[in-house]
Structure 1
């Protein structure tokens, strides 16, 4: 499997707040458990974190640690 990396357009918008991503510190996210689909861009970690919380994306995916 290979993934092609391209730079988004200068007018690309944040998936969460719809701000221009390059006006901030952009982050590209891909779901690589499903053939690395199209990237989703967020303008910063705060928007990515808010998206994760509001979409409940951590439910069922929490790592467990045991000292045993």
Structure 2
């Protein structure tokens, strides 16, 4: 089994709120999931991370199954 290291994302980038799409700059040494959204308090996701990709796929499936739902 191959272990993925947390440091693979590198410095820089953004943390994104999955609830309200607020973006904040990523702080080195602080995982985005430990950050809280300054607007709504939800846990943040690192842009481009595995968890962010899963969230985007889930949102795409949700929109396909319910075409009346509009994006905020």
Compute the TM-score of the two structures, normalised by the length of structure 1.
0.31
Higher helix residue share:
2
Compute the TM-score of the two structures, normalised by the length of structure 2.
0.30
Larger radius of gyration: 1
